[in-house]
Structure 1
Amino acid sequence: MLMLEFWREEGMLSRRFVMLFIVLIIGGIILGYHHHTTFAQGNNCLATPFSNGCYSGIPLVEYQQLLDEMMLYPEPRVEQLPPNERELKRFNFRRLINPEGTIIYDAPNGNPISSIAAGFNYVSISNSQGGWLEINPGQWVRESDTAPVTPSSFSGVFVDPNAPYTMAWMLYPVRPSSYPGGPENTDLARIPRYTRLNIYHSVEVDGWRWYLVGPEQWVKQVNVGKVLYIDRPEGVKGRWFAVDLYEQVLVAYENDTPVFATLVSTGLPEWETNEGTFTTWARVANAPMSGAEGQEDFYSLENVPWTLYFDNDISLHGTYWHDGFGYRHSHGCVNLTLTDSYWIFHWSQEAGYDKPQVHVWASGEYR
């Protein structure tokens, strides 16, 4: 009797074990198949961006989750530095445009006393009289040899290091695409230059990253400048600046905490800004800059403001002669708007940080 009960119980246990084993096998097959299908859909979403379980070029479930986030965080959690109207209007800048060079006279309709060779030349005007402009005491040029200049009113932002998404600025006003790698959606308006965006997701297509910046709105990485944070380099302390050559973005830090970010313009390929960690060695509130005299790229710039020299004659400084921030533009210096350079110059000097450090790095490689 005991033996019979044992075999009955043993048989029931065996049957239960077999049933459990079968359930586990079938469940494993189902789970494995489901995972494979999701993975396949993820790979195929670029080919079928709005079908086969995909939406806007990514798996539908993932897009729905991101859509909730886009509704919750529609724009970056930052505060813009107000444009410094006093700085923007402090000087009346003009570009010298005579291709033969500009003659300087001692008075309106007066005698020639010198000349400025043709080049990338900017002056500031202190007086005007009957078609003549005074550029320095006792130095006059014809107004027809000049063109007016309007400094950029762009300014950076105070950042929240705990913000949920990476921020970027739109650099080129394109219409977003409906899916990564797709054509511009002509039903949508162009995103204006300098618009601040959240990057909710990224997908790589043909070696380029595409960023999801809004519902069914993707932009190629070359059209934005992205704010990236880095660890404090060894030996750096206090208030310091990180310049990302790839994104053309400067971030101001207080020790380990990012405080402020903005777009910059660094050196062109012929005059690349050197990478490395530097200590500023001089600060100049206002001075002229010139270089490459006698060469095709000769330049002469009056009243360059708020300069911090950090790598020999390379510096952070204010820039009134272009509005190309987010793109390389200089002979090696780090160009900032007048508003940003004023803030950086003074903020870096507060609390005893008279010679802040500058760390120049690259988050990617220009192509």
Structure 2
Amino acid sequence: MKAHHWSTAALLGTAFLFLAVLFSQTAVVRAVPPTPTPTPTPATSPTVPVLCSPGVYPADYAVDCAPWGPSAYLSHMAALGYTYPPQPLPAHPLPSSWDSLPGKWHYAQVLRDGGRTLYPSLKDAAAGTRGRQLPPGFVYVSYYRTASYQGKLFYLVDEEGWWMRKNDLWAVAPSKFRGVILGRTPSHPFGWVLQPLKTKQTPGYTHEDYTHHRLNRYDIVQVYDTREANGMKWYMIAPNEWIPQRLLALVFPRQSPPEDVSGERWIEVNLFEQTLAAYEHGRMVFATLVSTGRPPFWTRPGVFHIYKKLPSTRMRGAFAADRSDYYQLDDVPWTMYYDESRALHGAYWHDYFGYRTSHGCVNLTIADAHWLYEWAHIGDMVYVWDPSGKTPLEGGGGGP
């Protein structure tokens, strides 16, 4: 039985012997260095850059990413001047208070198929006696008040007391279109829509890709790009929105005066675009639509100076030998003569601004003519030009 019992000393000796063998084997294992694993050689290929986050990246701006996709589109639009969100035109409409006239009168057209008689009193007007005739032609009168006499309505058309029958006149309301006051010179061309339209996704008429964006006459837009299509210019007014040149009247801002123009103030009339811009200290301060001379009564190009200002004046005359084109326009407001009988003035008898329709003068709405009249000085330069070069430099008309 004693053979099966171990003494404490024997047990401890056996344990120490086991640990010694174990540690000696571990040391041997650790003494053998591990076999190094070879580093794989990557295949030769171009480095693929990281795509830039959407944003504007100018061409001369160093970036460590690829400005592709949305960034490329945004950068392209920014180069054209269109940023997100779109920047508004630095302008505001001329206030309606500028619609005022120099006097307390209204306007009426003398009907061509009616009587053209003026009477010295209401009694004479009612009886049809002691009248004097207005010449036939394109005639408008200013009237100061109306009066009823013996059941009929009459208009006082002269401060000296001359009356006309209501049935011989047609009261007119002048155009309410107004130009814009600018806080600074815009960086892009801008202008007004001339006819109601829908924009197109692409320039030209090859594709029927009209958008649902409708624009009305006198809406103002900015232009960011120009393309040729179907033999005409097309203007981009927003991403994927194009308008043909013939339906826009544009102002092209200048950063410096044109040749032959000196001084700090000048008025520019663009005969091709039918627009006007006023500059002061090298900055555009006002812009609007005009209506200049139609052939053969074109408005003469050149550099001129304002030499006379009249709050209102009567304009009358004829060009044809038989006076068949006679015109008489009472109290033409805010008139500034700059080239012989040609003038900048308000036009109350039409609403064709943006189109040639005058006898040689530069027509403006009453509000625009009023603002320009108050702003301009005698001696200010008027620069009239036609970018197309089609307007003759001599001759032309000299009437409203």
TM-score range, shorter chain: 0.7 to 0.9
Structure 2 distance, partners of 1:107, 1:90, is 20
Structure 2 distance, partners of 1:199, 1:112, is 60
- Give SS of 1:321's match: coil
- The alpha-carbon deviation at position 71 of structure 1 amounts to 3.6
Structure 1 distance, partners of 2:389, 2:195, is 19
Return 5+ residue gaps in structure 1 as ranges.
1-22, 24-59
Quick one: which of 94, 108, 122 aligns to 2:140?
Answer: 122
Residue 150 (1) aligns with residue 173 (2): yes
Structure 2 distance, partners of 1:222, 1:73, is 25
**Amino-acid identity (%):** 32
- Give SS of 1:203's match: strand
What RMSD, in angstroms, separates the aligned Cα atoms of the two structures? 2.6
- The alpha-carbon deviation at position 106 of structure 1 amounts to 1.9
Q: Which has the higher helix share?
A: 1
* Deviations 1:180-224, CA, capped at 9 Å, x for gaps: 013675652530111110112111113311011123321100111
Residue 214 (1) aligns with residue 242 (2): no
Structure 2 distance, partners of 1:177, 1:271, is 36
Structure 2 distance, partners of 1:194, 1:72, is 24
- The alpha-carbon deviation at position 86 of structure 1 amounts to 5.4
Q: What does residue 292 of structure 1 align with? A: 318
Structure 1 distance, partners of 2:76, 2:261, is 42
Task: Name which of structure 1's ranges 182-191 and 270-279 shifts more when overlaid on structure 2.
Answer: 182-191
- The alpha-carbon deviation at position 99 of structure 1 amounts to 2.3
Distance 1:266 1:83, change over 3 A: same
* Bigger radius of gyration: 2
* Deviations 1:240-264, CA, capped at 9 Å, x for gaps: 2111101111111114322211111
- Give SS of 2:190's match: strand
- The alpha-carbon deviation at position 295 of structure 1 amounts to 2.4
Return 5+ residue gaps in structure 2 as ranges.
1-45, 47-70, 392-400
Instruction: Kindly report which structure 2 residues correspond to 1:147-226, keeping only aligned pairs within 5 A, or say none.
Output: 147-182=170-205, 188-226=212-250
Instruction: Kindly report which structure 2 residues correspond to 1:100-139, keeping only aligned pairs within 5 A, or say none.
Output: 102-108=116-122, 109-110=126-127, 111-130=129-148, 131-136=153-158, 137-139=160-162
Q: What does residue 293 of structure 2 align with? A: 267
Quick one: which of 343, 368, 371 aligns to 1:343?
Answer: 371
* Contact 1:75–1:197, Cα closer than 8 Å, also in 2: no
- Give SS of 1:304's match: strand
* Deviations 1:300-323, CA, capped at 9 Å, x for gaps: 111111111111000001111111
Letter paired with 1:81: L
- Give SS of 2:167's match: helix
- Give SS of 1:99's match: coil
Structure 1 distance, partners of 2:271, 2:91, is 22
Structure 1 distance, partners of 2:196, 2:349, is 21
Residue 91 (1) aligns with residue 105 (2): yes
* Deviations 1:315-356, CA, capped at 9 Å, x for gaps: 00111111111111100000111111111111113xxxx321
* Contact 2:98–2:371, Cα closer than 8 Å, also in 1: no
Structure 1 distance, partners of 2:346, 2:171, is 18
Structure 2 distance, partners of 1:162, 1:253, is 9
Equivalenced residues, count = 305
Letter paired with 1:327: Y
Structure 2 distance, partners of 1:249, 1:163, is 15
* Contact 1:280–1:357, Cα closer than 8 Å, also in 2: yes
TM-score if structure 2 supplies the norm length?
0.70
Distance 1:358 1:164, change over 3 A: closer
Letter paired with 2:310: V
Instruction: Kindly report which structure 2 residues correspond to 1:237-248, keeping only aligned pairs within 5 A, or say none.
Output: 237-248=263-274
Distance 1:362 1:121, change over 3 A: same
* Contact 1:74–1:198, Cα closer than 8 Å, also in 2: no
Structure 1 distance, partners of 2:251, 2:173, is 27
Q: What does residue 280 of structure 2 align with? A: 254
Instruction: Kindly report which structure 2 residues correspond to 1:271-286, keeping only aligned pairs within 5 A, or say none.
Output: 271-286=297-312
Q: What does residue 343 of structure 2 align with? A: 315
